[in-house]
Amino acid sequence: MTSLWKIVSFIVATYTIAVVISDPQLSVFQKACSNYDATNPVVFRANRNKTLSNLRLQLSSNDGIHFAISQQPIQPDPVYAMFQCRNYLNSSDCLACFDSAETQIRSYCPLDGGARVFYDGCFLRYESIGFVDQILVSDNFRLCGNNVISQETTFARTVDELLSDIIAATPKINGYFAASSREVGGGTIAYAVAQCPERISPTACNGCLLAAYEKINSCVPQSEGRASDHGCFLRYSNSTFFNGYKETDLSLFLKGGGSSKTFIGAMVGGLAFLLFVAVFTLWFQFLRRKPAKEGDILVATELRGPMNYRYNDLVSAAKKFSEQNKLGEGGFGDVYKGTLTNGKVIAVKKLAIWKSIRAKADFESEVKLISNVHHRNLSRLLGYCSKRQELLLVYEYMANTSLDKFLFGDRCGTLNWKQRFDIIVGTARGLAYLHEEFHVCIIHRDIKSSNILLDDHFQPRIADFGLARLLPEDQTHINTRFAGTLGYTAPEYVINGQLSSRVDTYSYGVVVLEIISGRRSNDLQLEPFTEYLLELAWRLHEEDKLMDLVDRSLDINEYNTDEMKKGIGIALLCTQSSVARPSMSEVVSLLTSKGFSDYRPTRPTFIDPNTRVPNDSSNSPVSSNATIAITEASGR
Ligand SMILES: *[C@@H]1O[C@H](CO)[C@@H](O)[C@H](O)[C@H]1NC(C)=O
Ligand SMILES: *[C@@H]1O[C@H](CO)[C@@H](O)[C@H](O)[C@H]1NC(C)=O
Ligand SMILES: *[C@@H]1O[C@H](CO)[C@@H](O)[C@H](O)[C@H]1NC(C)=O
């Protein structure tokens, strides 16, 4: 039951080819099982049920998505699942394909191990090993039709050109899907589609499609061919199978237009190299594999790892950490702007918590973990440097600084409603990723508007995630300078140190209220009532005057009242008592689903955000003479 055994059996997994029946989208093209068995079938099945129902929730609550992943990392049998459907299916057909695939996949494999089901319309897979970033290109397969077409040579040439073009274009297309057709002559038309899973890199997409091309090539001149390699899919036919779907203009993605055999030749050469690299890295992983908790194999980013910068390079990049280069002071240390000799602009964080950090070895493995987190709403950790008593972290630089500057600072009132709503949704997505999609659940613990950076297009990037993990467990919640900022921090965490992902949900709700109202959470308003932002929001909710909360600098013609009320309603759901708070993926679903629901949140406990928790740590953060003022919920 070692992980090595799991991997070996995973690779020799058996494939069986199923019959293709007439309905093109819901016929099973292929099914396969992975030959390992779960350590604890009860845990495994519960995890599997959760990932499958989460996939379905994502599909049914987001119109127009064609790709979803989900994971339940609960040991000893975590489950990772992925679903993909062809972009020419509309949402209801995509969901129908999922439902059919789910029924198939549940009943197909005898062991409690991984399974995959391939349909013409979609693909579903789960494993107890993370596979979404996988670049393995060795177990692909094909299925050919059994009718040779009449204009053999012209058809073969046309299909070959069409496939070459579609393979070259797909990795460059956002969403990795292309559909196209080409005239053969004599009334015959060749149709083709290509698709890759959205999480892999363009290079991996290219490699996967090339492996599929090698297979499908031998189907021509049959009238039909399909090939697949894990998530990527390639299909051609002499009859249309994506009726009514807008074809991709391939010429936009092809250099110099037209197809070229030499291009494919070069790429097949590249594929051989990629295979070599894959085999080599796999071997390398076997040799040095530790009993790691994540169990991911062949994750490309893990091999690259964070960059170890030279101390002197960072000192000169940040002009000796001069005052002019200082960008801000965060809970974990000061941040400086720096310019490397190659012209790249970076942000360098000088960690002020060196003495609290458990051990240096720990530091490096945590940094490695954080640098593996890639999501468009999370700030990228590029590398680090540790020298004697100094620890430096290097991040991408964000020219638009942080959200607080746009809400209350020198640029206040400059964000319109659309930009604010994008920030609300993006931040929720980033947190949902940290909590539920990354292979380790990372709780941020210090979500606040100054920790949300804005990129050039005002899309949010959450900063400082993972750093709270560097602190010893029993200290984090006591020292608010390091984890948690009063006014944003959930009451159960401040008072009892109870940590769960719902702590971030609470802080997120407070940030949403700040975004909508343009008011700081810990500014005390005196007139007409003495109250903090959260108290104000709950009072207005109870008096049914929610719209009074909205920032006056927002253009009233620009937003829709229902959307605004929905935003406030969701923020209030997030600040309820911890058991009643939604998870961040539920928040994403609520925000992105259409229509308005009348939320009935329940009033929480309030904490006075200006009361300080003592900084010196005794073991129990709240003794009988606690200095935290708690206003118990009154009435209702
Ligand atoms: C998983 O779901 C199936 C079908 O919905 C159900 O029969 C089974 O009891 C569930 N198992 C667990 C462990 O939740
Ligand atoms: C989706 O497409 C199918 C045909 O493929 C059609 O029958 C169905 O009505 C469509 N559904 C929606 C909601 O547009
Ligand atoms: C595709 O080719 C097969 C085999 O030659 C033929 O029977 C079928 O009618 C063709 N379909 C179309 C739409 O031309």
State the CATH number of the domain containing residue 39. Answer: 3.30.430.20
Over the stretch 103-122, which tens digit does the pLDDT of each residue have?
988 888 877 788 888 888 99
Q: Are residues 487 and 583 in the same domain?
A: yes
Which of 159, 239, 240, 241 best tests ligand 3's pocket when mutated (most atoms within 8 Å of CB)? 239
CA 42 / ligand 1 centre spacing (Å)? 10
Q: Are residues 558 and 584 in the same domain?
A: yes
For 541-553, what is the mean pLDDT? 91
What is the C-alpha radius of gyration for the chain, rounded to an integer number of angstroms? Answer: 27
Instruction: Give the domain-ending residue among 127, 150, 177.
Output: 127
Three-state SS at 151: coil
State if residue 239 touches ligand 3 by the CB under 6 angstroms criterion: yes
Q: Are residues 488 and 586 in the same domain?
A: yes
Q: Are residues 74 and 145 in the same domain?
A: no
Of the listed ligands, the closest to the CA of 221 is: 3
Three-state SS at 308: strand
Distance, CA of 486 to CA of 480 (rounded, Å): 7
Residue 493: name the closest of 445, 427, 455 by CA: 445
CA 560 / ligand 3 centre spacing (Å)? 52
276 falls within a domain: no
522 falls within a domain: yes
Distance, CA of 575 to CA of 505 (rounded, Å): 7
Over the stretch 249-269, which tens digit does the pLDDT of each residue have?
888 888 754 444 434 444 444
Distance, CA of 430 to CA of 218 (rounded, Å): 44
> Per the annotation, does 350 bind a ligand?
yes
Tell the residue nearest (CA) to atom 14 of ligand 1: 46
Alpha helices (runs of H) in 3-115, residue ranges in sequence order: 3-11, 41-61, 91-108
Q: Are residues 263 and 313 in the same domain?
A: no
Q: What is the pLDDT of residue 611?
A: 43
Query: Residues in the chain, how many?
Result: 636
How many domains in the chain? 4
Instruction: Give the domain-ending residue among 342, 374, 396.
Output: 396
CB 382 within 8 A of CB 346: yes
In one letter, which amino acid is 215?
K
Provide the angle, in degrees to the nearest 10, between the axes of the packed helices 202-216 and 152-169.
Answer: 170
446 is catalytic: yes
Distance, CA of 629 to CA of 609 (rounded, Å): 9
Q: What is the pLDDT of residue 360?
A: 58
Q: Are residues 467 and 541 in the same domain?
A: yes
7 falls within a domain: no
Which of 40, 44, 45, 50 best tests ligand 1's pocket when mutated (most atoms within 8 Å of CB)? 45
User: Lowest-pLDDT range, 277-281, 426-430, 437-441, 555-559?
Assistant: 277-281
Three-state SS at 192: strand
Q: What is the pLDDT of residue 95?
A: 92
18 falls within a domain: no
Q: Are residues 627 and 502 in the same domain?
A: yes
Q: Are residues 123 and 144 in the same domain?
A: no
Over the stretch 17-42, which tens digit does the pLDDT of each residue have?
333 333 446 777 778 777 667 888 88
Q: Are residues 116 and 143 in the same domain?
A: no
Over the stretch 46-81, which tens digit does the pLDDT of each residue have?
999 999 999 999 999 888 889 998 888 777 788 889
Which secondary structure element, helix H or strand E, spans residue 491, and what is its range? Answer: helix 491-496
32 falls within a domain: yes
Q: Which of 112, 133, 446, 464 is catalytic?
A: 446
Over the stretch 382-406, which tens digit does the pLDDT of each residue have?
898 887 677 889 999 998 889 999 9
Alpha helices (runs of H) in 144-290, residue ranges in sequence order: 152-169, 202-216, 261-288
pTM above 0.75, yes or no: no
Which is higher by pLDDT, 577 or 477? Answer: 577
State the CATH number of the domain containing residue 412. Answer: 1.10.510.10
Q: What is the pLDDT of residue 422?
A: 94
DSSP type of residue 20: P
Q: Are residues 507 and 461 in the same domain?
A: yes
DSSP type of residue 341: T
Over the stretch 487-529, which tens digit does the pLDDT of each residue have?
888 878 777 778 889 999 999 999 999 999 999 887 776 666 6
Beta-bridged to residue 384, according to DSSP, are 308, 393
State the CATH number of the domain containing residue 378. Answer: 3.30.200.20
Q: Are residues 472 and 353 in the same domain?
A: no
Q: Are residues 510 and 608 in the same domain?
A: yes
CA 45 / ligand 1 centre spacing (Å)? 7
Alpha helices (runs of H) in 289-438, residue ranges in sequence order: 300-304, 311-317, 360-371, 403-407, 417-432
Instruction: Give the domain-ending residue among 267, 300, 326.
Output: 267
Range of the domain at 45: 28-127
